[in-house]
Chains A and B, each alone.
Chain A
Amino acid sequence: MNLKLDFAVLLHDEYPKLLVEGVVNMLQLTGYAWLLAMILGTTLALIRMTQNRWAERAVAVYVEYHQNVPMLVQIFLWYFGVTTLLPDFAQLWVNQHHSEFLFAIIAVGMCMSAYISEDLRSGIRSIPRAQMEAARALGMSYLKASRLVILPQALRIALPTLVSHTVLLFKNTSLAMAIGVAELTYATREIESQSFHTVEVYLLATMIYLGISLLIMAVGSVLENRYRIKAR
């Protein structure tokens, strides 16, 4: 095997543009999907907390579905399947407006919201019920008590698993390449097939993924230290 690394190749032609676009798309996908996952996940966790039996079952089905089906299959189902169920004008709109990006956000966000709701639920469960009762007795509404008393503590307890699931979400945005979202993995393959400098471009992409994952983990551990609940 004769390997000569020539990273200067990656500066030729339109490669830098492809790479930068790939990284930007990847980060946007991660950001939007993360927001969706957090909002949905928190909502689901709060619904489960109400202890209404039917609501609880519905959330359980949602969570089990998203945890037991591969994310790639979920992406396919949204992109190839759900689009065909839309009314004609919506299909037309979706086809003209980079639907792959939109559906990747929905698929990744909804899948990860199942994991995040489970993280938050175990966080919420570790807080004594008496705190909710006390907050309600002080005249707070259910939502206000959740927002001001329960969630701030539950979030801190759930932080380590939330961070590792954020990393998982970030890594899984790479699956969006299967439906043609021009994120980093997609750009990497493009450049590889045009330039044949396989090692350089895959090494660079791997380093970018590695760097951002480690960055998320580092930010997570800083947050964990700052917001640790002091022992009483």
Chain B
Amino acid sequence: MTDILTILRDNWVLLLIGQYPNGPLGGLAITLILSVVGLALAFPVSLLLAIARVSPIAMLRVPATIVVYVVRSVPLIMFIFWVYFFAPLLIGRTVSGFTTMLVTLVIYQAAYLAEVIRAGIEGLPKGQIEASRALGMSYLQTTVKIVLPQALYNMLPAMVSQFVSTIKETSLGYVISVNELTFAANQVNSTLLTKPFPVFILLAMIYFALCFLLTRYARYLERHIASKRAGSLRTMPAKPAPAAAPV
């Protein structure tokens, strides 16, 4: 335990922001930036994918379904290497590890988030869509004004969980030497050499503290939304949903 505290005291700057003032930003800061920006950029893509997934038009539904299935069936590490090798070929210049990781996270999370949003859309009572169509709203109007606000609001807890997954996934940046938290901890480990156990326990504890808080928050949201739905069904649809990304 004293080992862990000593390591934390000596290396907290490196773990938190890397060599920032004298070098590139790193550590926990990069982990957070990657996951926040990654999920925020994945959100609009996932929204389009989810709408295509439930669309009555097969031309939209089938490709979106294939994309979602392929992305969900292949390990993240494979996508990291695909982007790592082919992004430079496609745009004709070198791409930083940070950008590679960000692009990969956007692709990967878009597919997962799309399934979350789709579940939210399919969880709504059919009667609502029928009612809004009967009132003369178009399919697009129904989707934008009736379906999505409710689906996204109901799925907020799941999106917070998805944020936790994204934070955990950034740890794979280590394999392409992105300077995030896991990479920083490995640097600390290779300078200390003799204390791998305390270093990696410390690393696990930092991730745990962050992700556990968010998981708790997701559960709180879940209870809150469930009680709201049960308590005041009549006012629920009138409440405007926060339509932005959960981050």
Chain A residues near B (Cβ < 8 Å):
1, 64-65, 67-74, 76-77, 80-82, 84-85, 167, 171-172, 174-175, 177-178, 185, 188-189, 198, 202, 205-206, 209-210, 213-214, 217
Contact = CB atoms under 8 A, between A and B. Distances in A.
Q: Is the interface of B mostly helix, strand, loop or mixed?
A: helix
B172 interface: yes
A105 to B, nearest CB: 17
The residue in B168, B199, B201 that gathers the most chain A C-beta atoms within 10 A of its C-beta is B168
13 contacts: A64-B215, A65-B204, A68-B212, A69-B207, A72-B182, A73-B203, A76-B203, A77-B201, A81-B196, A82-B197, A189-B81, A202-B82, A213-B72
B174 interface: yes
Nearest to A77: B200
Nearest to B189: A80
Nearest to B69: A214
Interface of B: 69-70, 72-78, 81-82, 85, 89-90, 164, 167-169, 171-172, 174-175, 182, 186, 189, 196-201, 203-204, 207-208, 211-212, 215
Given A70-B169, A73-B182, A80-B189, A185 B204 contact: no
A177 B197 contact: no
B175 A178 contact: yes
A69 B211 contact: yes
Contacts of A209: 73-75, 78
Contacts of A175: 75, 77, 172
Contacts of A64: 208, 212, 215
B168 A71 contact: yes
Contacts of A85: 197
A81 B192 CA distance: 13
A76 B200 contact: yes
A73 B172 CA distance: 9
A80 B212 CA distance: 24
B220 to A, nearest CB: 15
A205 B78 contact: yes
Contact of A202 (B76, B85, B189, B199): B85
B200 A202 contact: no
A209 B73 CA distance: 7
A82 B72 CA distance: 32
A202 B74 contact: no
A171 B215 contact: no
B89 A84 contact: no
A178 B174 contact: yes
B196 A1 contact: no
B79 to A, nearest CB: 9
Given A71-B168, A174-B78, A214-B69, 20 more contacts: A64-B212, A68-B208, A68-B212, A69-B204, A70-B169, A70-B171, A72-B171, A73-B182, A76-B182, A76-B186, A77-B203, A80-B196, A80-B197, A80-B200, A81-B199, A174-B75, A185-B75, A189-B81, A213-B73, A217-B73
A214 B75 CA distance: 13
Contacts of A205: 78
B128 to A, nearest CB: 26
Contacts of B189: 80
